[in-house]
Amino acid sequence: MFVTIYAQLVLAAAVIVVAFAFSKGDEPERMGAGAYAVAFLATTMIKGGVAPNLPRWGPMGVEIIMLVVFIGIAWHSRRSWPIWAASCQAVVVTCHAMVAANLRPPADAAAAVNNMANYGVLLAMAIGTFWAWQERRALEQMEAPGAASRRP
């Protein structure tokens, strides 16, 4: 399945972002990364031999579940990245809905929209993880012994 260099680069980017979120993120980032990893594996394992203009119900169901997960994380978190991730995921679900409603979007355009929106999800997760990591480091430095002498 990952025979082209493009597919391998996308897989590498996804693995790097998910590993970064698991290692440096807080609970919302880990939940998002775990859900993304499970969804990535699920859509990879679903048989995809259908024509590009026919709806793929399995991946569409996985994408809808991902949208609900990101909305849930955004609802219960004070972070802003889940809102961006949910917005990008909503674009993916909308693209699947267009194909299911037989609105006949060009297959290349639908694939490009799905790919770019998935990059948006990864980018939002990576940026959110970075800021959570930096906030945690700043708090640890403020609470460290001798931090009172460093304060202005």
What pLDDT does 3 receive? 78
If phi > 0 it is left, if psi is from -120 to 50 it is alpha, else beta; for residue 102 that is: left
pLDDT tens-place string over residues 96-120:
999 889 888 888 888 899 999 999 9
Q: What is the dihedral of CA 23, 26, 32, 36, to 10 degrees?
A: 0
What pLDDT does 56 receive? 85
d(CA 116, CA 121): 9
* pTM (2 d.p.): 0.87
pLDDT tens-place string over residues 135-146:
999 998 888 776
